[in-house]
Structure 1
Amino acid sequence: MNDLEILQPFGPSIAKVSIPKEIIDSMNNYVDEILKDNKKSEILDGGYKLAGNVTQEFRLEGDFMKKIKWIDFLALSVQDWLLKKTEKKIKKFDLIASWVVRQFKNEYNPIHFHGGHVSGVGYLKVPDNMGKTVQKDKKNRNGNLVLVHGSHQFLSKSIFTIQPKVGDFYFFPNYVMHTVYPFTDTEEERRSVSFNAYVDQDIVGIV
């Protein structure tokens, strides 16, 4: 993954990569087809297990993920990230689950963390305009992802804010707390995809 960028705004590192356009298109088409099938939408619904107060969250099917090489993309990106940070190559990438989040105006994802060892989120659709701030001259965080780790200290940030862009994917350790702010003034969908996975325990244990 030649475009992988390591970000370290606080203690744990974060990796940023670009999702290949063919995967974005395949995943959006897949989601749009599922939305036409109420029975399948209900079967794949994962909202009851997830933190979001959003319109819909559903699991991606294993066969579909293999077909579009989604698991390969995740595994290779994680391997590249951890190799650069630990100088060790993972031998195991066990995907626990990957799911799509469909968020619309006034909805949000409360602060939470994930299971497994590594997690991540990327963007399939982002509204052109996510609304204004109530007060003028305030930085607009509408629809942003916020990662939180530790507490604010001198020369040590505890908050990293990400403005979503289609195709951007961020990897982070499962324990990093995160939240998504609501947005307003649009009927457009904010569509993201996330995952949890296990990797080699001996690499996770490296300090």
Structure 2
Amino acid sequence: MELEILKPFGPSIIKIKIPQETIDQMNVYVDEMINNKNKLEKFNEGPQLAGNVYQEFLMNTDFMKKIKWGELIGSACNQWVWKEKTLQLKSFQIIKSWIVRQFKNEYNPVHIHSGDVSGVGYLKVPKTMGETFQKDKKVNNNGKLVLIDGSKRLFSPATYTITPKIGDFYLFPSYLMHTVYPFLGTNEERRSVSFNAKIDDQSSSI
């Protein structure tokens, strides 16, 4: 697995690619879920999550096993721990994994996750996230993910901004605060997948 370690501030994060086959399987899963009212109600996770978005629902255990989701992110975590601490990961357990369907004007407020390790990756991204109201604005954060680590320090910024791209998947410590800005001007969907996981105590200092 090609794995990139990023250190924009205090804790490191990692970036991997979701295989295209897995992206396709997840999108089919989502599209089938959308058309099944009973499943939508059963796996609706919206009330338990921070987002003010259209739909958030769990991936069921059988589906995650079928696409070997735990193996993919568990392998990434194992490499992460080895590169950072020269330790072998003794255990990796997904607490839950869910998919977020976000549309224009929706957002995720600043929040943290449970467990030791979390992540977010992208299954669909709008062609445009819309313009800023001030046309000469140099920075446009519409629809972007921002990771937050304390306050700005010398040679260490407090935030790291991620532009969503299909297939990109970022893993980070669960305590890391993060937020997703709303986007504008399109009826297209921004679809992402996230997870929370526990790892063994020996390695949890990543």
TM-score of the pair, normalised by structure 1 = 0.97
C-alpha separation between the residues in 2 aligned to 1:42 and 1:205? 37
Map of 1:98 onto structure 2: 97
Question: Residue 115 of structure 1: SS of its match in structure 2?
Answer: coil
C-alpha separation between the residues in 2 aligned to 1:26 and 1:125? 13
Written as runs of structure 1 = structure 2, the 5 A alignment for 1:17-166 is 17-138=16-137, 139-166=139-166
Q: Which blocks of at least 5 consecutive residues in structure 2 are unaligned?
A: none
4+ long deviations beyond 2 Å: none
> Percent sequence identity over matched residues?
58
Map of 2:198 onto structure 1: 198
Q: Cα deviation per residue 1:84-135 (whole Å; 9 max; x = unaligned)? A: 1111010100110000000000000000000000000000000001100000
Mean CA deviation greater in 128-137 or 105-114 = 128-137
1:202 deviates by 1.4
Q: RMSD of the TM alignment (CA)?
A: 0.8
Closer/same/farther in 2, CA of residues 205 and 5 from structure 1, 3 Å limit: closer
Q: Which blocks of at least 5 consecutive residues in structure 1 are unaligned?
A: none
Question: Residue 188 of structure 2: SS of its match in structure 1?
Answer: coil
What is the aligned length? 205
Mean CA deviation greater in 165-174 or 70-79 = 70-79
Map of 1:15 onto structure 2: 14
1:137 deviates by 2.2
Letter aligned with residue 149 of structure 1 = D
Q: Cα deviation per residue 1:15-55 (whole Å; 9 max; x = unaligned)? A: 00000000000000000001010111011000110000000
TM-score of the pair, normalised by structure 2 = 0.98
C-alpha separation between the residues in 1 aligned to 2:180 and 2:205? 29
1:163 deviates by 0.1
Question: Residue 71 of structure 1: SS of its match in structure 2?
Answer: helix
Letter aligned with residue 36 of structure 2 = D
Question: Residue 98 of structure 1: SS of its match in structure 2?
Answer: strand
Letter aligned with residue 117 of structure 1 = D
